[in-house]
Structure formats: structure tokens, C-alpha cells
Amino acid sequence: MEVLREKVEEEEEAEREEAAERAERAEKTMRPVEVRTEEAPLTPEMLRDLEKKLSEIETPASEEPPVITKDTIDISSLPLSYKTNTPKEEHLLQVADDFSRQYSHLCPDRVPLFLYPLNECEVPKFVSTTIRPTLLPYPDLYNWDGCAQFVSDFLTMVPLPNPLRPPSSLYSSTTVLKYQKGNCFDFSTLLCSLLIGSGYDAYCVNGYGLRDLCHMDQTREVCPLTVKPKELVKRRERALSKKYTVKPPRDLSSKFEQEQEIKKQREIRAQEQKRLREEEERLLEAEKAKPDPLHGLRVHSWVLVLSGKREVPETFFIDPLTARSYSTQDDRFLGIESIWNHKNYWINMQDCWNCCKDLVFDLGDPVRWEFMLLGTDKPKLSLTEEDDNGMNDEDDVENLGKEDEDKSFDVPHSWVEQIEISPEAFETRCPNGKKVIQYKRAKLEKWAPYLNSNGLVCRLTTYEDLEWTETLEVKEWYQNREDRLELKHINKTTGLNIDYFKPGHPQALRVHSYKSMQPEMDRVMEFYETTRVDGLMKREETATTMTEHYQGRPDFLSYRHITFGPRVKKLALKSAESNPRPIVKITERFLRNSAKPADEDVAERVFLIGEERIQLRYHCRDDHITASKREYLRRTEVDSKGNKIIMTPDMCISFEVEPMEHTKKLLYQYQDMMHLKNEEKVSRHLAWESELEVLEILKLREEEEEAHTLTVSIYDTRRNEKSKEYRETMERVMHEEQLQQVEAQLDYLAPFLAQLPPGEKLTHWQAVCLKDECLSDFKQRLIDKANLIQARFEKETQELQKKQQWYQENQVTLTPEDEDLYLSYCSQAVFRIRILEQRLNRHKELAPLKYLALEKKLYKDPRLVELLKVFA
């Protein structure tokens, strides 16, 4: 092994040197256009020097063990297709080699192609065969954004060993997924496999990108989560003016003055905007990255998705490292060398002086895209423009030659095994289920569900400055919480916390925004009003007031406002909690109840509790602009005779839109007032209950925060304790049944085990002894058996001999009966002897076999197997 590793290292070293050389060469032949445009002050010579220096610097850096080195990869478990090439593949490689040679001959100033890098088993493989289109059984991976997000989350990015050159090797997705690490080529190969598998027209791209792109550096990007969705400005549709729409009243204000005013305001606004713009520019200047000396040379690989399939309306790029999609016009992508999918390989013949902005992605056009294999299913472009330069002629010649060589050559099936991602791995996503992304003024942390005991899955921290020190606000997303908490928004500057809940909280809570969990402070609670019996929608609290909004109540209550007074100090401090704040005023508003006439339908009632005053305002009639009002002033007074005054006309002040007879009556007013008094009591009680409920919710919230239990879906068999228990019990039962069956058969070790102390684990020595004992015992038994048969045989033979002797002696004197008896005995004895003889022979034959069988069995015995294996 050691030798092998050294050898590999040597190889790597050699490769690296070669790579550096090649890079130098490549850089010599680098498209001068690009260098000229992007790096005007640098001459190619300077660049070369720099490049040399850099490669010198980088060489020791890459000496430290890369994250996946070849020796860490266990290639033994990989199937044969990884280690060898089929004849067809060999053929393909040959074709590719030819193509590459022709290409370097025809375009000597371009970098060599990235055609057949080595795989993890050191076997050259054509890049198209490395793509293994797979559709995974996860609904999330059906669309491109899900795929890209998964790839970017699942893998950890390893920078290219040489940022100026494509890697010398390209591993299969199997290995990449296993180690969850890879460079941008691994990323794009995997993503491309998934995208093609789910039906997209996707291609791996070998090209050049900006430094930030290549290094997956998003610190200059604005976090997509912080970008607020642009609010659609709804243009209010002006109702069509109808034939009889009344004319608006004449406008008598001065037009000139209005114009002047508008002009002035516009000027002010323009100034403001200018100032803002300047500010912005200044900021942008500050944020701008240092110029990159390797601009335009950094190799990157990404994915191109062509329009057409899966209803993709427009061709776009996906950066597999960050999972973000970009337009093909984006200036992060500086050029394309070649692209490939699982069927073919194309070289870009277009000039990339203006990044990728001018590229035409019509792969059927042989002028723009030089294909490697014929017989692709891409539609060929009908040549409308005449070929007029030599380059094209050469292409044609080349094409012709190729056509002769391998007409309709199909890319062989991918050598890569089908991509498999276990549900666990899919759920865990990021390596170790954790990932941190730094954005401009923001940090995004992601966790796999159930990884954190409080259900936290995502945290976005926004910072004031670029160095991520001054926290502005924190947003935390939760999943599977039993209290249905979904999002926690903490604003560090104002100290305001906002919790968002999904439907299903025991108190129907939807949003809870607060500064502190202490009661009687500023807070807003919103509820899912449909799940609440009282239809409460929102409750706002300040130190002295409480406002409640209702919806959909049968009594049409829509609003209740309670004003509290300062707590009265009680002399006897009997119990601290039963001193509610006194209520000063309750205002209740009702919606229009169409079953009642407007004059009897109360719109607002105000209970001024301290003044014993009740104010009522009724709803306005449809064709009126004034509403009835009534005010009751309740004073219990005693008249001159000492009688209690029940009701006097001055206790009720009312304004009626249309004076009615029955409301003037004292009896009516008295009854109304009594009714209102009861209502007041009810309202006060409700206010008190609301206060209690707030306390209860706060307590519940605190408990929930403390416990933060997570729910498990009943379909989640892995996490659901109950089902797991059940399954385990079932398994145990099955297992026990099996054991019983085995025991029922016959335990040949039992008598030997019984000699040992019960319940203890066997040692090696004991196991060996046990085995030997068992075997010797068995041998003894076999021998015993053989001896027994032998003894019987001998006995029979002796008896027969005796009988024969006796017969010969007394043959003359014997009666015919005795003779018959003797003969029959003889035949029986001979039969017995023969049988015994046969049994003995058979036993002799079988005994060694039986012995071997037992020995084998003992080696396989579950009780001994572990212990005996070592000595096998």
C-alpha cells in the first residue's frame, strides 16, 4: 500500500508539473482578445510571469492532502465498468483523441480540450459518459431549482487544484456523492445528470468565470432571502364614466399655483434622488472587489439549460455551487470553451470578447458550435449565410472526414452507476446537516430537520456592516415544532420580536410580536379567527390599553377597546394576583345588523365606568348622514321626600334622527338602561377574561419555548417512536420464534455449554475447547457405535459357527424337524450377519462425513462463530 501511495503521489507530482507547464503553454496561447479587453494594463508577458509565480505559490499549497485524494477512495467496491473500458468506449476514446488532435492542429492558439479526464480508478473516460441521467424519486428534485439547491447543499466545494486549468480527473457522481465533496466540474456533472434525468435540455459547460463565482464567494451578493419582493403597484381601474355620471363640482383653485407647487416639489425630489444616487455610488465603490489579476483566466464549470424542453422559456445558466440561475447575459460568466451533455460534445467557435453576451446557443449551427459526434438529435441549422471564410471550409472538410470515419456513432451507455441518494442523506442534505453561507451583510445558516432539538432549520442574520459584526436582525425558521412556530423574527435594533405560527397552535395564535414576555406591555397578538370560538382576530396591548378586533361574530361585535387606570393600592394585601387594574373605559363597536332598523342598531357604545355614563351611537340610516345618539347618566339620587329616584328625563340625553314616540317614555329608557347595565357587567367580565387569556398565552409560550418538542409525522417511520417500537417488537417476536424453532431442532452444544457458568460470554479459549470437546465426543460416539455393531456382528458369527459345529457333530442323530429348525436358524443368522456387516460398512463410510459436517456446523454456530473465526 505504501508503495502504491508513493507512486500515486509521484504521479500527481508529475501531473502537477505537467499541468503547470501546460497552463503556461495555454496561457501563451490564451485568446489575446480577452486579455486585451479585460486586463488592459497587463501585457501577456507580465501575465505569464505572474502566472508562473502563482503556480509556484500554489504548488506547495496543493501539496497538503486534498480533501479527496485517490488513496482515500475505496475503489475496491466500485463495479467493473469503473475500472475498465469496453471496446466501444475504447473506440470512442480513440475518436475523441483524433478529434482533439485535429482540433489542436486547426486551432493551435486555443487550450486543449477537456475531453477524457481520468476517473477515480485512473481510467480515462469520455466526459459525456460521465453524465448519468437519473430521475430521483423525490418530488423536490423534479424542477431545476430544487435540483440545483440540492446539489449545492449536498456537496462541499473544493477549489480546483489549478484555477487556470480544468482538472486532470473527473470522478463519477457515485464517488462524489459518497464523499460529499467535489470541484465545480463534479458539481455540474451531478447537476447535469439530475437535470437531464428530469427532462431538461441541460449541458455541462467548461468556461471561464469571475473569481467570486469560481470560489463560491457570495460575500458581495445580496442574500436572496433579504430581498423584499417587489410590491405590485395596483393601478386602480377608474370606473368608466357612465352616461349620467354627475359632473364634479367646479374646481376654483388656481392652475398656475398648482403648477408652481408641482415644479418646486419635483426639484426637491430630484435633488433628493441625486443625493441618494451619489450615496449609493459611494457605497458601491467601497464594496467593489479588488481587481483580480487572473481575471478571465479562471476556469469554471457550470450548467447551461436550453429553452424548449420542460417549458423553459429562455436559455439560462445555473451556477451549481450556489444554485442560483443567471441570464446568459450575466457578466459573471466570461467565456465558454466547450459544452457537453450525455450524448455529444460541442466546442464554442464564437468569440467571447464580450463575455457570453453575444453567444448564440444554437447547437445545430456548425459554424458557431463544432460538434464531436455525428448523429445527435439536435436539429441542424439550415445554412442561410454563405460560408465565406477559410475557417469554415476547414470545418467542413473536417466534418466530411469525420462523417466518413464514424457515421452515426452513438455515445456508449454511461459507465457510472445509477445515482442513488438515500432518504436519510436527502433529508440531511448538507454534509453533517449543516451549512453556512456568507452574503453581503448577511449570514445564512441551514440545518437539516430534526438536527436541532428546537426544530431550527434556517437562520438568516442581517448585519449593519460588511464585516458581519453589528447584527441588525435575525430571522429563524423552524420546522416540525409542536407549538407550530414557523418563523421567529428578532429585530436587534428595536428589540421587537415577532413570532409567526402555522395554523394549529392550541390558542390559535398566528403572529405574536412583543418586546418582552412580561404582561401588560406593548404587544400584538394575531389569531386564526376562524378557529376561535369568539372570532378574535387581533389583540393589541399597550401599558394602559387593550384593543381587540373581531370578525364573524353573531352579535356583530367588531372592536373592543379597554382603557385601564392605574392599580389601586389595596390596604390588605391578601393575594397579589387578584388585583386587576381598574377599567376606566370600554368602547365597543358593532357592524350593521341588517335585521334591525338602523335607529335601533347600536354602532358604538362607550361605557365610562368611573363616571357611570353610557354613550350610545347608532348606525346611520342608508339615506341619512346623521346618526342617532343617546347618553345615559346613572346617578342614584334621592328626591326631597327621601324616595329613591328611579328614572328622570334628564338621565337620558338623546338625539334622534327621526323622533319616535316610544323612545321618549321613561319606561323604555329605564329598560334600555337596565339592559345596558347588564351588558356593561358582561363587557367588564370579558375584559377581565381577555387579560387572563393573555397571561395564559404568555405562560404557554414560555412553556413551549422551554420544552420545544418536535412532532413526528406518522408516516415518518424512522423517527416515529411509536411505530418504531411496534416494528421492533414485531421483529423481536419474529426473532424469538426463529430461535425457538432452532432450539426445537436439537442443540448439540447444550450439554457442553451446561458445564460452563451460564450467562457469560465465551472466551476464545473456551470456544475452542468447546468445539474440540464436542468434536471428540462425537468421534467417540461414532467409534462406540462402530464397536457396538462390530460386537454384535462377532457375536452372531460366533453363534452361527457354534451352531454349525453342533450340526456337524449331531447331523446323523437329528430328526428332520430339528434339521429344519437348524436350517431356518442358519438362514436367519446369515441374514442378520449380512445386515450387520452392511451397517458396519455404511457406518465406516459415513462416519468421517458426519464428523466433518459437525465440524462445519460448529464453525457456523452463532455462539461460536465470532470466536472461532480468528483461528480459522
Partner 1 sequence: MNHLHDSMEPRVMDDDMLKLAVGEQGPQEEAGQLAKQEGILFKDVLSLQLDFQNILRIDNLWQFENLRKLQLDNNIIERIEGLENLTHLVWLDLSFNNIEAIEGLDTLVNLEDLSLFSNRISKIDALDALVKLQVLSLGNNQISNMMNIIYLRQFKYLRTLSLSGNPISEAEDYKMFICAYLPDLVYLDFRRISDDTKELAEAKHQYGIDELKHRESLMQARLEDEQARREELQKHKAAFVEHLNGSFLFDSMYTEDVEGKKLSYLPGVSELLEAYKDKFVIICLNIFEYGLKQHEKRKTELDTFNECVHEAIQENQEQGKHRIAKFEEKYLLSLNTIREESEVPTIEKKIMECGEDITELFNALMTLEMQLVEQLEETINLFERNIIDLVGLFIENVQSLMAQCRDLENHHHEKLLEISINTLEKNVKGELDEDLPDDVRLVSALFVDKDTIINAVGASHDIHLLKIDNREDELVTRINSWCTHLVDKIHRDETTRNRERVKEISQYVDHMQSELDNLEYGDILD
Question: Taking the complex as a whole, how short is the minimal distance between the CB of residue 679 and partner 1, in angstroms?
Answer: 17
Distance of CA 859 to the CA centre of its chain: 47
54 close to 134: Cβ distance less than 8 angstroms: no
Q: Nearer to partner 1 by C-beta: 108 or 642?
A: 642
Q: Nearer to partner 1 by C-beta: 400 or 666?
A: 666
All cell numbers assigned to 484: 407550530
The rounded distance, in Å, linking the Cα atoms of 208 and 298 is: 5
Question: Taking the complex as a whole, how short is the minimal distance between the CB of residue 331 and partner 1, in angstroms?
Answer: 54
How far CA 738 is from CA of 432, 734, 854, 858, in Å, comes to 38, 6, 21, 19
Q: Nearer to partner 1 by C-beta: 410 or 631?
A: 631
Q: Which residues of 144-156 are buried (b: 16+ CB within 10 A; e: fewer)?
A: bebbbbbbbbbbe
Question: Taking the complex as a whole, how short is the minimal distance between the CB of residue 311 and partner 1, in angstroms?
Answer: 45
Instruction: Classify 433 as helix, strand or coil.
Output: helix
Q: Nearer to partner 1 by C-beta: 517 or 647?
A: 647
Within 8 A by CB and 6+ apart from 359, the residues are: 328, 336, 348, 350, 352, 368
Q: Nearer to partner 1 by C-beta: 623 or 817?
A: 623
Question: Taking the complex as a whole, how short is the minimal distance between the CB of residue 238 and partner 1, in angstroms?
Answer: 14
Question: Taking the complex as a whole, how short is the minimal distance between the CB of residue 614 and partner 1, in angstroms?
Answer: 15
Question: Taking the complex as a whole, how short is the minimal distance between the CB of residue 638 and partner 1, in angstroms?
Answer: 14
521 close to 543: Cβ distance less than 8 angstroms: yes
Burial class (CB in 10 A: 0-12, 13-18, 19+), 779: middle
Question: Taking the complex as a whole, how short is the minimal distance between the CB of residue 704 and partner 1, in angstroms?
Answer: 43
Q: Nearer to partner 1 by C-beta: 245 or 741?
A: 245
Q: Nearer to partner 1 by C-beta: 658 or 721?
A: 658
Facing residues of 513 across strands? Answer: 498, 524
DSSP states of 198-226: TT--EEEEEEEE-HHHHTT--TTSBPTTT
Which candidate, 476, 484, 438, places its Cα nearest to that of 460?
476
The rounded distance, in Å, linking the Cα atoms of 358 and 114 is: 23
3-state helix, strand, coil in the chain (%, to 5): 45, 20, 40
474 close to 445: Cβ distance less than 8 angstroms: no
Q: Nearer to partner 1 by C-beta: 244 or 715?
A: 244
Q: Nearer to partner 1 by C-beta: 252 or 750?
A: 252
Question: Taking the complex as a whole, how short is the minimal distance between the CB of residue 611 and partner 1, in angstroms?
Answer: 11
Give 109's DSSP letter. Answer: T
How far CA 600 is from CA of 547, 550, 587, 649, in Å, comes to 25, 21, 18, 20
Question: Taking the complex as a whole, how short is the minimal distance between the CB of residue 598 and partner 1, in angstroms?
Answer: 13
Q: Nearer to partner 1 by C-beta: 620 or 835?
A: 620
Q: Which residues of 224-257 are buried (b: 16+ CB within 10 A; e: fewer)?
A: eebeeeeeeeeeeeeeeeeeeeeeeeeeeeeeee
Question: Taking the complex as a whole, how short is the minimal distance between the CB of residue 565 and partner 1, in angstroms?
Answer: 17
DSSP states of 636-660: --B-TTSPBP---GGGEEEE-SS--
Question: Taking the complex as a whole, how short is the minimal distance between the CB of residue 458 and partner 1, in angstroms?
Answer: 47
Q: Nearer to partner 1 by C-beta: 246 or 750?
A: 246
What's the distance, Cα to Cα, between the start and end of the chain in Å?
Answer: 25
Q: Nearer to partner 1 by C-beta: 677 or 785?
A: 677
Question: Taking the complex as a whole, how short is the minimal distance between the CB of residue 244 and partner 1, in angstroms?
Answer: 4
Which candidate, 302, 322, 316, 326, places its Cα nearest to that of 150?
322
Helices 44-63 and 2-28, axial angle in degrees (round to 10): 170
151 close to 198: Cβ distance less than 8 angstroms: no
Question: Taking the complex as a whole, how short is the minimal distance between the CB of residue 603 and partner 1, in angstroms?
Answer: 11
Question: Taking the complex as a whole, how short is the minimal distance between the CB of residue 558 and partner 1, in angstroms?
Answer: 17
512 close to 701: Cβ distance less than 8 angstroms: yes
67 close to 158: Cβ distance less than 8 angstroms: yes
Q: Nearer to partner 1 by C-beta: 608 or 753?
A: 608
In the complex, the residues that contact partner 1 under the rule CB under 8 A are 242-247, 249, 620, 623-626, 646-647, 653, 655, 657, 662, 665-667, 670-671, 674
Question: Taking the complex as a whole, how short is the minimal distance between the CB of residue 560 and partner 1, in angstroms?
Answer: 20
DSSP states of 585-617: EEEEEE---TTS-GGGSEEEEEEETTTTEEEEE
Question: Taking the complex as a whole, how short is the minimal distance between the CB of residue 601 and partner 1, in angstroms?
Answer: 16
The rounded distance, in Å, linking the Cα atoms of 789 and 843 is: 9
Tell me the H-state helices in 39-172.
Answer: 44-63, 80-83, 87-106, 127-130, 144-154
Q: Nearer to partner 1 by C-beta: 383 or 666?
A: 666
Radius of gyration of the chain (CA): 46
What is Dmax (Cα atoms) for the chain? 170
Contacts 24+ apart (CB under 8 A), 509-512: 509/697, 512/697, 512/701
Q: Nearer to partner 1 by C-beta: 40 or 625?
A: 625
Question: Taking the complex as a whole, how short is the minimal distance between the CB of residue 240 and partner 1, in angstroms?
Answer: 11
Q: Nearer to partner 1 by C-beta: 286 or 625?
A: 625
Tell me the H-state helices in 254-354.
Answer: 255-287
Question: Taking the complex as a whole, how short is the minimal distance between the CB of residue 597 and partner 1, in angstroms?
Answer: 14
Q: Nearer to partner 1 by C-beta: 248 or 313?
A: 248
Q: Nearer to partner 1 by C-beta: 247 or 641?
A: 247
The rounded distance, in Å, linking the Cα atoms of 233 and 736 is: 70
